[in-house]
Structure 1
Amino acid sequence: MAKRLPLIILLWLAADVYFYQALRAVVDPSAFLWAYWLIDLFLIIGIVAAIYVRRGSRTQHTLITWLLGLMLLSFIPRLFSLPFLLVEDIIRLFRGFPPRAWWVSELTLGMAAVLFLLVLFGITRGRHFYRVRRETIYFPDLPEAFDGFSITQITDVHSGSFTNAAGVQKGLDLVNAQQSEIILFTGDLVNNLASEMDRWIPAFAGLTAPMGKFSVLGNHDYGDYIQWATPEAKRDNLDRLKEVHAEIGFRLLLDEAITLFKDGQSITLLGVENWGKGGFHKYGDLKKATTEVPDDAFKILMSHDPSHWEAVTLDHHQHVHLTLSGHTHGMQFGIELFGFKWSPIKYVYKQWAGLYRNNGRFLYVNRGFGFLGLKGRIGMWPEVAVITLKRTS
């Protein structure tokens, strides 16, 4: 990151200089010059400070949280308004570069103002703007007793980021309101420390489902992103987190399988430890989880990182019908309108939000319940997913 910092700052400042041209056309530049560039200066100082303070410290976390919000407020309205200026400049190029048109600059600033308000909503109210997303998935070999079986999935709680008890409870009430037969949690209960869940244990223990609550670990749950005094301290933290899962009523699956029975028929629920591509740890072992599972069993897999699906699950010798993941958060920033879906995270993860299918095997990637880094969500709202299994005739 430190090596890329000069390029990031250069691109950012270039966009600011370009946008400033619109300001100059409609506003006396002397009135806003210092304020406009002073904001950028403070943000640059903050970015450098966040990189070089102690990794995983509370100071670094606070800096990153504030910087992400302020940078988005500053940069996003400018970035998405620039096409108006670019089109005008192309026209001006063929006309000998006359002065900028007043109305184009006003349109650009108006667009920036609207985007500013949208971003402001996202970082102030978006973190608890929970949305229920529903999917019905059809399978020819689903046991008849499970036709219409409903699953509520939540993921990426990141309890260390929570401060608003009423906001969190709003999301948990929404989970219970779905009245699904089972609740599945697919990892990242905390940011780093098991103690982050202490104040939230009673609230999460209030989640109910007639056929139980089950969970797996995510990459943040292992404590890999902070410095520990000793290896034993890190191990004790993970042990405590496993206890927390039990205290909130979730059966934690660690590379293992359980059988769910209904009216004399059954399906298999699998849960693996975190497995992620790139630099993420590959703790999960799907082969171990399916050792005693019959080949013809109907299988639902909980695996935190969606990259596990293409890298391992699709090639697994047993047919895993449905995989539930999280991890990406939809980058907590994106656009979802009228069937169109976009977020910068799509350039990192091929499967990053919603339902995917490959040769009769399905993956659902939940956008996440909580938030991390950016203390909010912009367009990629926190999610409670309800998945209904149906049997095709």
Structure 2
Amino acid sequence: MNSRILIFLGVAFAFLLAIDLYAFKGIRLITENSKTIYKQLSTVLFWLESVGIYMAIGWMVFNMDKFRDPAFTNTIFTINAFILMSLATKLVFNIFHGADDLAFLGNKLVHFFNNGSATATNSNGTPISRTKFLTLLGAGLATVPLGAFAYGLTKGRFNFRVIRKSLSYPNLPDAFDGLKVIHISDIHIGSFPKGHESVAKAVKMINDRKPDVIFFTGDLVNNYASETDGWVDVFKQLKAKKGMYSILGNHDYGDYVQWNSSAEKKANLDLVKQRNRDMGFDLLLNENRTLEIDGEKIGIVGVENWGLRPFPQLGDINKANQGLEGVPFKILLSHDPSHWDAQVLEHKDMDLTLAGHTHGMQFGIEIPGLKWSPVQYKYPRWAGLYEKGKQKLYVNRGFGYHAYAGRIGMDPEITEITLRKEATV
């Protein structure tokens, strides 16, 4: 193992151990007046959990070759979820447990610089009682991230929801007024436990909406086409009256894997494309299709992945748009929402763009008056509807999950969009 990995492992363990030692100090404070058996039990449970986290991190570091192996995806993503849960819980606890210690340290520093030397502070019991109160408060508040990550792991990642939007356009042909579109994105099917019933349930939820069209905006897999094994028949159950269309996302190209040859990588990509088609999708690779109702048409434009560097910029709107010059309304499928600001807005004939990619970071807060996720600092257009002039962008929060097994405040999304003809005066 190279020295950089060993240094990283040493630093990581030192950081986690410091957090654990300080958190354990708080546990001892809370249990100081408890019976011996409870003190011993709290100590054993605390350090069993901590040592378990260290062992899990060590296992991942020594098995980095398995990171891209579909057989270990669920294990690694689940370990990541437990690490995040442990870290977030202890950090919240330590913030409150350490508040009085920080105040005490600040007071000592003030005395030192004011008087030229540090002086002892009289102890009348008040600082200790305040410390214990803050520690107990921290213990109570630490249950929030603990509960949130536990929910995200066990329920949140499978809690599919339908978000409904009605979008009006003056240039929508009359025949398409009321067209019902289902939009999904970022399936990441290799992240799901094999055969998990939530996927079939989501497919049924889509079919129950009786869509006219289904659009899928990329990332069918994490890396390998083989991740789709056993899932094709599930997605073949999807039904749409006027067709199903898909594009590729950044993960579909296999760029995160060390392949033995370029031919092997190409074969994987070719199979990912074929799996899209096997599921019933018409895969658009810088191509377009037209939908026609009663002699009126709209254009469906699908580009390959275009993202800000280091993501590949394979999308070609000009190529994909060829032949649609006389079509009055167009829907663009583009995986990465950053494409909208970078290029799409220059193409005024792209009325509605559908994207995904961000997953809403699988973590955020969405309540009336507040919509926030850390991902917004990288992707300003990260979830929901955005408008500029007459053009609209909708960013789907994702069907699946990646990197860690969980979703907190950012449920997997099935978007139902109804297109409406806007009345003109």
Tell me the distance in 2 between the aligned counterparts of 1:265 and 1:293. 13
Check if 1:359 corresponds to 2:389.
yes
Provide closer, same or farther for how the CA distance between residues 380 and 13 of structure 1 changes in structure 2, counting only shifts above 3 A. Answer: farther
User: Which of 43, 64, 83 is 1:71 aligned to?
Assistant: 83
1:25 corresponds, among 22, 29, 35, to 29
Contact 1:46 1:67 in 2 (8 A): no
1:137 corresponds in structure 2 to: 167
> 1:262 is matched with which residue?
293
Matches of 1:221 and 1:353 in 2, distance apart? 21
2:54 is aligned with 1:41: yes
Q: Secondary structure at the match of 1:169?
A: helix
The answer for the alignment partner of 2:283 in structure 1 is 252
Secondary structure of 1:210's partner? coil
CA contact (8 A) 2:363 2:409 kept: yes
Match of 2:65 among 41, 44, 53: 53
Which residue of 313, 326, 331 corresponds with 2:356? 326
Q: What is the CA-CA distance between 1:297 and the residue it aligns to?
A: 2.4
**Separation (CA, whole Å) in 1 of partners of 2:76 and 2:164:** 33
Aligned equivalents of 1:264 and 1:319: distance in 2? Answer: 20
User: Once the 2 structures are TM-superposed, how far is the Cα of residue 55 of structure 1 from its aligned partner?
Assistant: 5.7
1-side partners of 2:355 and 2:77: how far apart? 25
User: What is the TM-score normalised by the length of structure 2?
Assistant: 0.83
Residue 197 of structure 2 is matched in structure 1 by: 166
- 2:193 matched to 1:180? no
What SS does the corresponding residue of 2:403 show, helix, strand or coil? Answer: coil
Q: Hey, what's the Cα distance between the residues in 2 that align with 1:13 and 1:354? A: 40
> The residue matched to 1:66 in structure 2 has which SS?
helix
- 180-189 vs 257-266, which moves further: 257-266
- The equivalent residue for 1:201 is 232
Give, in angstroms, the shift of residue 59 of structure 1: 7.2
Q: Which residue of 1 aligns with 2:36?
A: none
State the shift of 1:215 in Å. Answer: 0.6
1:153-193 per-position Cα deviation (integer Å, ceiling 9, x unaligned): 11111121222431211111111111121110111111222
SS of the residue aligned with 1:148? coil
Q: In structure 1, the residue corresponding to 2:197 is in which secondary structure?
A: helix
Structure 2 unaligned segments of length 5 or more: list them. Answer: 33-38, 109-120
1:219 pairs with 2:231? no
**What SS does structure 1 have at the residue aligned with 2:231?**
helix
Change (3 A) 1:81 1:367: farther
Equivalent residue number for residue 379 of structure 1: 409
- Cα displacement (A) at 1:340: 1.9
Q: Give distance in 2, aligned partners of 1:281 and 1:313.
A: 16
SS of the counterpart of 2:229? helix
- Any idea what SS the aligned residue of 1:53 has? helix
Segments of structure 1 that go 5 or more residues without pairing to the other structure are none
Which residue matches 1:189? 220
- Report Cα offsets for 1:53-97 as digits up to 9, x if no partner: 366235764553233111122022234455544665676656969
Question: Equivalent of 2:419, from 386, 389, 392?
Answer: 389
Q: Is the 8 A contact 2:249 2:357 kept in 1?
A: yes
Match in the other structure for 2:367: 337
Please give the residue correspondences for 1:237-248 in structure 2 after superposition, counting only pairs within 5 Å.
Answer: 237-248=268-279
The 8 Å contact of residues 295 and 319 in structure 1, kept in 2 or not, is answered as no
For the residues of structure 2 that align with 1:200 and 1:173, how far apart are their CA atoms?
A: 14
Task: Give 1:255 shift.
Answer: 0.5
CA contact (8 A) 1:353 1:367 kept: yes
Moved more, 29-38 or 275-284: 29-38
Q: Deviations over 1:93-136 (max 9, x none)?
A: 56969224433322221222243122112112222110111122
Tell me by how many angstroms 1:151 deviates.
0.7
Q: Deviations over 1:262-314 (max 9, x none)?
A: 22222111000111112111111111011222166211101111111111111
1:288 aligned to 2:301? no
CA distance in structure 2 between the partners assigned to 1:59 and 1:197 by the alignment? 12
Larger gyration radius, structure 1 or structure 2:
2
Q: CA 1:194–1:54 in 2, change beyond 3 Å: closer, same or farther?
A: closer
* Letter aligned with residue 366 of structure 1: N
Measure, in 2, the Cα distance between the counterparts of 1:18 and 1:335: 29
- 1:378 aligned counterpart, secondary structure: coil
Counterparts of 2:100 and 2:390, CA distance in 1: 49
CA contact (8 A) 1:53 1:60 kept: no
Contact map agreement 1:150 1:389 (CA 8 A) in 2 = yes
CA distance, structure 1, for counterparts of residue 312 and residue 11 of structure 2: 29
Instruction: Give the percent of matched residue pairs that are identical in Structure 1 and Structure 2.
Output: 41
1:54 and 1:166 mapped to 2: Cα distance? 26
The residue identity in structure 1 corresponding to 2:172 is L
Q: What count of residue pairs does the alignment treat as equivalent?
A: 391
Distance 1:77 1:384, change over 3 A: same
Moved more, 188-197 or 89-98: 89-98
Verify the 8 A CA contact 1:56 1:227 in the aligned structure 2. Answer: no
